[in-house]
């Protein structure tokens, strides 16, 4: 039995502009229970517009990132409440993953260990992903007799080649962090001891970029995947023009390069501290 209260199912700390959010049910390998899903949504709400949070990192306490949905509490217990129970549990989990997909701040999955099934929802929701080489990823649904639902099939089809997605989903064999990086499920795999430092390095680099441009960029990359070239071209013009109407980043970036010659955009970001904000 897990002794976690609902509040304790997720832990977090804010350090140097980074919110380190942790699945916190290590004794249950951080399986996502309805209580955890509710708390995660609440915490995402609390953190999203805080000035001291520039980047959100999602990681796990103990040996797991998350072992997927809690087979007891998410499936068996909610099913006992009929269709209404099932739909409520789905809304709570899909809800925070959707929220994370379109989060205001850049997000990074730091996959420290086991990542199964439903875990692919938050994995895909994060903009970037870094894994320990020793982490294990798997669509284990087939092993207990269901299809990879809750978006997991979609994540596999989005991130993997057709043949790899089929093999991964049909065989249910776990792969390690190195293979996950080779297959494109994560950006990089690193030795566990080096993982946090690398993720922090990336988070700090993101904090130096214009936050309005970052939000527009991450949304653009997700949106254009499903557009024709012409629709994407049009959407991107309008998205940039909308950003220009409330943020002077573009002007400042041009000024520091063209007039002040204080940086080179090809090699790094302009000095954000000089930009006046509305």
What single-letter DSSP state applies at residue 27? Answer: G
State the burial class of residue 237 (Cβ atoms within 10 Å of its Cβ: 0-12, 13-18, 19+): exposed
Binding footprint of ligand ACO, residue count (CB under 6 A): 17
Rounded CA-CA distance 202/204 in Å is 5
Instruction: Assess contact for 114 and 66: CB atoms under 8 A.
Output: yes
Q: Pattern of binders to ligand ACO over 155-174, x per CB under 6 A?
A: --------------------
The H or E element that residue 232 is part of is helix 229-244
For the segment 96-115, give every residue that binds ligand ACO (CB under 6 A): 114
- Min CB(236)–ligand ACO separation in Å: 35
Which position among 16, 46, 50, 72 is part of the footprint of ligand ACO (CB under 6 A)? Answer: 72
Q: Which residue lies nearer to ligand ACO by CB, 18 or 67?
A: 67
Angle between helices 162-171 and 152-159 (to 10 degrees): 150
Residue 31 within binding range of ligand ACO, rule CB under 6 A: yes
Residue ranges in 126-228 assigned as alpha helix (H): 152-159, 162-171, 177-183, 192-207, 211-224
Residue 29 within binding range of ligand ACO, rule CB under 6 A: yes
Q: Which residue lies nearer to ligand ACO by CB, 56 or 139?
A: 139
108 three-state secondary structure: strand
Q: Pattern of binders to ligand ACO over 208-247, x per CB under 6 A?
A: ----------------------------------------
Residue 130 within binding range of ligand ACO, rule CB under 6 A: no
Footprint on this chain of ligand ACO (rule: CB under 6 A): 28-29, 31, 63, 67-72, 114, 116-118, 140-141, 150
């Amino acid at each position: 039995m897990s002794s976690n209260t609902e509040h304790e199912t997720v832990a977090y700390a804010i350090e140097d502009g980074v919110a380190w959010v942790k699945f916190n049910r290590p004794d249950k390998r951080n399986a996502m229970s309805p209580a955890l899903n509710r708390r995660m949504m609440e915490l995402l709400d609390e953190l999203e517009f805080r000035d001291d949070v520039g980047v959100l990192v999602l990681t796990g306490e103990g040996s797991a990132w998350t072992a997927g949905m809690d087979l007891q509490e998410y499936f068996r217990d909610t099913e006992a409440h009929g269709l209404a129970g099932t739909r409520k549990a789905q809304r709570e989990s899909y809800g925070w993953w959707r929220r994370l997909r379109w989060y205001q701040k850049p997000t990074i999955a730091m996959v420290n260990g086991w990542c199964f099934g439903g875990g692919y929802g938050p994995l895909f929701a994060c903009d970037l992903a870094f894994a320990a080489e020793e982490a294990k990823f798997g669509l284990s649904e087939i092993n207990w007799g269901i299809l990879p639902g809750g978006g997991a099939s979609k994540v596999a089809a989005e991130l993997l080649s057709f043949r790899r997605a089929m093999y991964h989903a049909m065989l249910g064999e776990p792969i390690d962090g190195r293979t996950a990086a080779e297959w494109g499920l994560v950006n990089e795999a690193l030795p566990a001891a080096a993982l946090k430092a690398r993720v922090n390095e990336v988070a700090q680099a993101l904090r130096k970029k214009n936050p309005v441009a970052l939000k527009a960029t991450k949304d653009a990359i997700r949106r254009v995947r499903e557009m024709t070239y012409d629709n994407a071209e049009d959407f991107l013009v309008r998205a940039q023009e909308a950003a220009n109407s409330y943020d002077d980043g573009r002007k400042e970036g041009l000024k520091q390069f063209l007039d002040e010659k204080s940086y080179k955009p090809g090699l790094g970001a302009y000095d954000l501290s000089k930009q006046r904000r509305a």
